[in-house]
Amino acid sequence: LRAVMQQTRAGTGCTCCHPVIRRLLDE
């Protein structure tokens, strides 16, 4: 999960594909 979050922060990940991460980033 952390690896995906790092990719998302780097812009290489797709936040729309990870609703849970979107909620974490929104909080």
pLDDT confidence bin for 25, thresholds 50/70/90: confident
Question: For the whole model, what pTM was predicted?
Answer: 0.28
Average pLDDT value for residue range 1-27: 69
% of residues, the chain, pLDDT over 90? 0
Between CA 10 and CA 22 the distance in angstroms is 14
pLDDT confidence bin for 10, thresholds 50/70/90: low
Query: What is 1-27 written as a DSSP string?
Result: -HHHHHHHHHT-S-GGG-HHHHHHHH-
pLDDT at residue number 22: 74
